[in-house]
Amino acid sequence: MTQVPAASTSDHICWVYDEDDASFDRTVRRFLAGGLERDERLLVVGERVIASLGSAGDGIGDAAALIAAGALRTLTMAEAYEEAGEVVSGTQRTFYDAATRTALADGYSGLRVVTEVSPLAEDAGTRATLVEWEHLADEYAAEGSGFTAMCAYPSRLSAQALADVATVHPLVHADAVPPFQVFFDDDRLALTGSVDTFSAERLARVLASSPVGDDGAVLDLGQVEFVDIAASRVIARWAQDLEARSLPLEVRGASPLLQRMWQVLGLTQVAPVAFTRAGA
């Protein structure tokens, strides 16, 4: 695995790591050190990442001193979910929102979080909620709230689990990138990569859980590599669901072929979508 790139403010990175302790510890500390350079408060969630702090030096100095100074906080998974509530995306967001605001109020430039909560990703039941929360966290990071996060998942998880969690991150550092990604870019929801019959259901789940404001949603397809009929129908069904809630859907940057497919399949009649050009 090549080096995980340094994070800028408001990044949301999915890092799929191999079981190499030295490299894992180094990457966690380098990510945290980047936060210290930017005067961000650090939050480390999960036993595996907390263990990385105990190792020698390498960028972040004395963890105990940072904790004493209030610049670093650690939460085991049990502590995190006692404090932030069960993995219900809304309560998680409230917790991280409060933590980010407090960091800003305390004079930090933001909150930088590194998490390793792979037990939640292993279980198919909790994974669905975890993915919902990751998607919401992505929106929160993209808002420019000052929240930056790296979510570490071990490569030993099933391909399905890894694809589920990686899909909702704008930045994915892994040997096997998921076929598509859905993430927030300013106020737009961006879809990149390829969605076909075999991955359309995953797209349906992400869209169904996607936060949509009162003005409706903008889905940006400008960077999509490929979508098939099944994927188009998933987007059409989302448009129908939004319409039922009186929320409009704008689809930006769709290729001429995709728009022709919508027309040919009669999706224009059932799914109220405003197609607009890229960069509109």
The site for another protein (CB under 8 A) is made up of 179, 194, 196-198, 226, 228-230, 255-257, 260-261, 264-266, 269-270
Tokens coding 220: 């940006």
Minimum distance between the CB of residue 229 and another protein, rounded to whole angstroms?
5
CB 103 within 8 Å of CB 41:
yes
CB 179 within 8 Å of CB 173:
no
Residue with tokens 């009649």: 269
Nearer to another protein, 88 or 230 (CB): 230
Report H helices in 106-255.
118-122, 124-142, 159-166, 200-208, 229-244
Nearer to another protein, 102 or 197 (CB): 197
Minimum distance between the CB of residue 89 and another protein, rounded to whole angstroms?
30
Nearer to another protein, 95 or 226 (CB): 226
Residue with tokens 């927030």: 184
**Spatial distance between the Cα atoms of 25 and 32, rounded to a whole number of angstroms:** 11
Minimum distance between the CB of residue 265 and another protein, rounded to whole angstroms?
6
Nearer to another protein, 30 or 237 (CB): 237
**Spatial distance between the Cα atoms of 245 and 61, rounded to a whole number of angstroms:** 51
Nearer to another protein, 122 or 196 (CB): 196
Tokens coding 199: 């991955």
Residue with tokens 């979080």: 113
Minimum distance between the CB of residue 153 and another protein, rounded to whole angstroms?
22
Minimum distance between the CB of residue 164 and another protein, rounded to whole angstroms?
18
Minimum distance between the CB of residue 264 and another protein, rounded to whole angstroms?
5
Nearer to another protein, 100 or 199 (CB): 199
**Spatial distance between the Cα atoms of 97 and 199, rounded to a whole number of angstroms:** 32
Residues in the chain: 280
